[in-house]
Amino acid sequence: MAFVTLATNDNYARGAMVLGQSLQNHNTTRKLVALVGPHVAEQDALRSIFDEVRVVDVMDSGDVAHLSLMKRPDLGVTFTKLHCWTLTQYSKCVFMDADTLVLSNIDELFEREELSAAPDPGWPDCFNSGVFVFTPSNETHEKLLGFCSENGSFDGGDQGVLNSFFNTWATADISKHLPFIYNLSSIAIYSYLPAFKQYGHDAKVVHFLGKVKPWHHSYDAQRGEVRGQSPDSCQLHPDYLLMWWQLYSTSVLPLLQRAYGDTPFNTGYTEVDDDNVSQEQPASVTPPPQKFSSEERKQRWEAGQMDYMGDDSFANIERKLDSFLK
Ligand SMILES: [Mn+2]
């Protein structure tokens, strides 16, 4: 049995390392597996946390996955994620997005059956595909690929595909509904604050849903503060973002430095060694990393390598469309 995550670029690889470290810190007894896209450079550092790092290049495979991708080039990242079903050396797995963070031991999830997941905060009759229990099977994998290339995805990503495929989740078997505390998104905190105050302390997994990910912020190691946060956000809820950065700076960054030397990382991490840097100085805040130029992004898009979880996310595309309509 194994926890499985997916990193399609270097930023998600850092998220995956924080997730893997958080699972280890809470003494998981299961294996840790990372699926990585072919462009992820940080495989060595990943290998020091994960038991298995598997490179998935749907583009280069001659199999049914590649054929499916040629039919639906818009679903590149989705096909990469569906690859988790091919991990048949494990009898059961828990998939976790690289933008999740574990707050306590969750090995009990392996008692659940496929497909178990928590409700999505935006449409609770759909499950959120950031955390789910599944049974690896080449047969299921091929069925999923076939389904995906025939029907596409109603939301452009894996969550739409998986909800259409496992379409009895909402009604058939309540034991496949994971409690919300296994996939708590910050969106839900603000949309139902009294419930968060009542139940939030039981949270076991935090999911940094949305466009802005922890690695888009920057961190003042000296003061132990995440920059660019509104001052009252910490009063509303435990500072999950700060927890992510503390784990990143204490456990992941040393691994990256060991693997690559002291070359600066484009993560927004800044080390401040004196207090002379005043807060008004914008230079002390590192802007979010620019991953690709728009020309490079266009080329990647045309090659079927969309960054659906990042630059090419639906929200970004929608914003672009809106700018034309106004
Ligand atoms: Mn996610």
| 326 C-alpha to ligand 1 centroid (Å) | 30
Give the domains, in start order, of the chain with CATH numbers. Answer: 2-279 (3.90.550.10), 287-325 (no CATH)
User: What's the 262 CA to ligand 1 centre distance in angstroms?
Assistant: 29
What is the pLDDT at residue 276?
30
Collapse the DSSP code of 118 into the 3-class scheme (helix H, G, I; strand E, B; otherwise coil) and give the result.
Answer: strand
Half-sphere exposure of 305 (CA within 13 A, CB side): 18
CB under 8 Å to 318, separation ≥6 — which residues?
none
Residue 325 has pLDDT above 50, yes or no: no
CA–CA dist 226, 245 (Å, integer): 7
Rounded to the nearest whole angstrom, what is the distance from the C-alpha of residue 140 to the centroid of ligand 1?
23
User: Which is higher by pLDDT, 325 or 151?
Assistant: 151
Instruction: Specify the pLDDT at position 311.
Output: 58
150 CA distance to ligand 1 centroid (A)?
25
1-28 pLDDT per residue, tens? 999 999 999 999 999 999 999 999 999 9
> Cα(182) to centroid of ligand 1, in Å?
13
> Is the model more confident about 120 or about 324?
120
Report the alpha-carbon distance of residue 33 to residue 51 in Å, rounded: 6
At 249 the pLDDT is 93
Q: What is the pLDDT of residues 118-133, one digit of tens each?
A: 999 999 999 999 999 9
Per-residue model confidence (pLDDT) at position 60: 67
Q: How many angstroms is it from 256 CA to the middle of ligand 1?
A: 23
CA of 277 to the centre of ligand 1 (A): 34
Query: Residue 107 above 70 pLDDT?
Result: yes
Question: How far, in Å, is the centroid of ligand 1 from the Cα of 279?
Answer: 31
Q: What is the mean pLDDT of the chain?
A: 82
In the reported structure, the alpha carbon of residue 185 is separated from the centroid of ligand 1 by a whole-number distance in angstroms of 9
What burial class does residue 322 get, using C-beta atoms within 10 Å of its C-beta: 0-12 exposed, 13-18 middle, 19+ buried?
Answer: exposed
Q: Residue 112 — very low, low, confident or very high, per pLDDT cuts 50/70/90? A: very high
Tell me the pLDDT band of 284, cut-offs 50, 70 and 90: very low
Among the listed ranges 27-31, 127-131, 171-175, 213-217, which one has the minimum average pLDDT value? 213-217
* Separation of CA 95 and ligand 1 centre (Å): 11
How many angstroms separate the alpha carbon of residue 188 from the centre of ligand 1? 14
Kindly state the percentage of the chain with pLDDT values over 90.
51
